[in-house]
């Protein structure tokens, strides 16, 4: 079981390490069983695809935007953030669910007001 105080940036990570929380919503973590080299390759592909999404939006090119969104999805699936879950215990995928309405509700409520909001300077 993961450290209950674990964080990704400013965002708390669920005790089982499956999700991080942003504005009360669960977002699936990358598959921890990916080797660092593979993970880095997929992250580079994801960042390149996101840049292409932005460029397509700025240029108004819908076809390029569709291709870029497909590339983002492909990279996120390769990372394990979308598609089939990477855990094997049969637990459901709660990606994008509000933490307060899931089995993580008690853990989330115990964060003492730190509900995954980024710090403000």
The tens digit of pLDDT for each residue in 14-71 reads: 999 999 999 999 999 999 999 999 999 999 999 999 999 999 999 999 999 999 999 9
- Which pLDDT belongs to residue 12? 95
Residue 46 contacts residue 52 (beta carbons within 8 Å): no
CA–CA dist 21, 53 (Å, integer): 24
Q: Locate 10 and state its tokens.
A: 């400013």
Residue 59: domain span: 33-80
- 39 and 54 both lie in a single domain: yes
- Which pLDDT belongs to residue 4? 52
- Total of domains in the chain: 2
Residue 121 has pLDDT above 70, yes or no: no
- 59 and 98 both lie in a single domain: no
Q: Locate 17 and state its tokens.
A: 């390490």
The tens digit of pLDDT for each residue in 94-104 reads: 999 999 999 99
Per-residue DSSP letter, 105: H
pTM of the model: 0.82
Strand partners, 7: 12
Query: How many other β-carbons are positioned within 10 Å of the β-carbon of residue 27?
Result: 17
CA–CA dist 21, 25 (Å, integer): 5
- 37 and 72 both lie in a single domain: yes
- 62 and 95 both lie in a single domain: no
- Which pLDDT belongs to residue 9? 73
- What is the secondary structure of 36-99 as a DSSP string? HHHHHHHHHHHHHHHHHHHHHHHHT-HHHHHHHHHHHHHHHHHHTSSSS-S--S-PPP-TT-BG
Q: Can you tell me whether residue 22 is helix, strand or coil?
A: strand
- Which pLDDT belongs to residue 113? 59
């Amino acid at each position: 079981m993961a450290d209950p105080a674990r964080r990704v940036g400013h965002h708390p990570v669920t005790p089982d390490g499956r999700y991080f929380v942003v504005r009360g919503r669960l977002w699936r973590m990358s598959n921890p069983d990916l080797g660092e080299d593979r993970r880095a390759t997929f992250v580079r592909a994801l960042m390149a695809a996101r840049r292409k999404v932005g460029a397509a939006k700025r240029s108004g090119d819908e076809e390029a935007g569709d291709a870029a969104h497909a590339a983002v999805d492909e990279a996120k699936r390769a990372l394990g953030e979308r598609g089939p879950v990477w855990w094997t215990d049969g637990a459901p995928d709660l990606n994008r669910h509000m933490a307060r309405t899931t089995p993580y509700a008690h853990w989330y409520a115990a964060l003492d007001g730190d509900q995954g909001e980024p710090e403000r300077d």
